Amino acid sequence: MTLKVGVIGTGNIGADHVRRLASQVSGVRVTAVFDVATARAAQIAQGVGAVAHGSWTALVDDPDVAAVVIASPGPLHAEQVLACIEAGKLVLCEKPLATTGQDALMVVAAEVAFGRRLVQVGFMRRYDRAYRVVKAAIDDGSIGEPLLAHMVHRNASVPDSFSSDMAMTDSVIHEIDTVRWLFGQEVVATTVVASRPSPQAAAGLRDPQLVLFELADGAVVDVEVFVNCQYGYDVRCEIVGSTGTVSMDNPSTNSLRRGGQLIESVPADWRVRFDTAYLDELQQWVHGLAAGVVGGPSAWDGYAAAVVANCAVQALADGARTKVTMVDRPSLYA
Ligand code: NAD
Ligand code: ISE
């Protein structure tokens, strides 16, 4: 059976998801799209034989849409996911599930009230092959007990609309989910320090920042987030265990040996670095739904990440170690 999908938001990643779903993922058809940029949405819809709706609510209500991919700006996600749950539609919501823990909790509560999982959150690193090697090395005991992690998240640049808070709610939110997934632990406290701003950062942007996460079992993780590093997209990590370490570098795409130097390229952006991860994420989502299974990162994972991101924003504002407070995990997400 073919899954009929509607896509809300056809900007950078939404357009990529439409293209992947239409041409690379099996068992699925894009039947509808919506974007407030109507001309672009109409063009994208025409390219894949989909309907361009006049509003996102019309897309959610469309009987020809069984599942919705949400790729609108983060602050809109919670309201759109809630409407999908109310309509009983399956959802793959790009990260973040919500920009506040309170909004994410409303999604969790609605899904719990619905009685079964409908929502997956687009934490695509869980599908990335290099991250999966790191996860396997932790899970099979290759490095002993995981104690520490060092992580780097650098973007070449961001638009002027990108705020200091977004360094946590939009960028480090990936590390928050990665850490929870790799260690199987919740984050219990955060400390954040900003360096003097890079001269390339827009006025008022705190960039770069250093984040410390303390986990429930006592492990500790540091993350550097630097969203104006200029030279490319650089996402790396090293997990330090009691008997060894496992690390993940950016896979270089080419190398050049010349004039006594070895020059390696760095991916330009997340599109290049995680291209296969997005594809695997979408294909596994579609395969799972065909088998009646909603797997992958859940609304609970989206909630936990949002709460920790909010806590990190607060920690920077207060200049103090800040404890994370979460509700108890509902049994739906056991
Ligand atoms: P973008 O600005 O390129 O695209 C967002 C689109 O949403 C725009 O086309 C905009 O016109 C549209 N939009 C605005 N208001 C809308 C509304 N009310 N309803 C529907 N659409 C509306 O942004 P982007 O980079 O594509 O990011 C979109 C989302 O995807 C964000 O949540 C972002 O965090 C996430 N994202 C995830 C990854 C990843 O690695 N998983 C990478 C990039 C972006
Ligand atoms: C963007 O929204 C993403 O999700 C990218 O993966 C991340 O690297 C970037 O910092 C975010 O803004």
What is the separation of C-alpha 306 from the centre of its chain, rounded to a whole number of angstroms? 11
Cβ of 124 below 6 Å from ligand 1: yes
Nearest to 94 by CA among 114, 65, 119, 111: 119
SS (H, E, C) 182-245: HHCCCEEEEEEEECCCCCCCCCCCCCCEEEEEEECCCCEEEEEEECCCCCCCEEEEEEEECCCE
Tokens 């108890």 locate to: 328
Pocket test for ligand 2, best of 174, 211, 223 (most atoms within 8 A of CB): 174
Q: Report the alpha-carbon distance of residue 155 to residue 201 in Å, rounded.
A: 12
Pocket test for ligand 2, best of 165, 270, 271 (most atoms within 8 A of CB): 270
Nearest to 9 by CA among 107, 86, 102, 92: 92
Q: pLDDT 10s per residue in the chain (334 long)?
A: 899 999 999 999 999 999 999 999 999 999 999 999 999 999 999 999 999 999 999 999 999 999 999 999 999 999 999 999 999 999 999 999 999 999 999 999 999 999 999 999 999 999 999 999 999 999 999 999 999 999 999 999 999 999 999 999 999 999 999 999 999 999 999 999 999 999 999 999 999 999 999 999 999 999 999 999 999 999 999 999 999 999 999 887 788 999 999 999 999 999 999 999 999 999 999 999 999 999 999 999 999 999 999 999 999 999 999 999 999 999 999 9
Q: Report the alpha-carbon distance of residue 283 to residue 136 in Å, rounded.
A: 21
Cβ neighbours for 63, distance < 8 A, ≥ 6 positions apart: none
The CA radius of gyration of the chain, in Å to the nearest whole number, is 20
The answer to whether the beta carbons of residues 211 and 150 sit under 8 Å apart is: no
Output the pLDDT for position 333: 98
Residue type, 59: L
Nearest ligand to the CA atom of 225: 2
Which residue's CA is the nearest one to ligand 2's atom 6? 270
Output the pLDDT for position 116: 98
Cβ neighbours for 102, distance < 8 A, ≥ 6 positions apart: none
Q: Compute the distance from residue 301 Cα to the ligand 2 centre, in Å.
A: 17
Output the pLDDT for position 254: 82
Helix (H/G/I), strand (E/B), else coil: 284? helix
Kindly give the number of the ligand 2 atom that is closest to the alpha carbon of 235. 8
Output the pLDDT for position 250: 86
Which residue's CA is the nearest one to ligand 1's atom 32? 74
User: Pairing state of beta strands 90-94 and 119-122?
Assistant: parallel
Q: Compute the distance from residue 76 Cα to the ligand 1 centre, in Å.
A: 9
**Residues in the ligand 2 pocket, defined by CB under 6 Å:** 155, 170-171, 174, 227, 270
Q: Compute the distance from residue 7 Cα to the ligand 1 centre, in Å.
A: 11
Output the pLDDT for position 24: 98
How many Cα atoms occupy the beta-carbon half-sphere of 51 within 13 Å? 16
Output the pLDDT for position 299: 99
Q: Compute the distance from residue 167 Cα to the ligand 2 centre, in Å.
A: 9
Which residue's CA is the nearest one to ligand 2's atom 3? 171
Q: pTM higher than 0.85, yes or no?
A: yes
Which residue's CA is the nearest one to ligand 2's atom 10? 171
Cβ of 14 below 6 Å from ligand 1: yes
Q: Compute the distance from residue 35 Cα to the ligand 1 centre, in Å.
A: 10
Output the pLDDT for position 1: 85
Per-residue pLDDT of 296-313, as tens digits, reads: 999 999 999 999 999 999
Q: Compute the distance from residue 56 Cα to the ligand 1 centre, in Å.
A: 13
Output the pLDDT for position 251: 81
Output the pLDDT for position 271: 96
Output the pLDDT for position 252: 73
Output the pLDDT for position 255: 87
The answer to whether the beta carbons of residues 286 and 92 sit under 8 Å apart is: no
Kindly give the number of the ligand 2 atom that is closest to the alpha carbon of 233. 8
Residue 102 tokens read as: 């309170």
Q: Compute the distance from residue 262 Cα to the ligand 1 centre, in Å.
A: 37
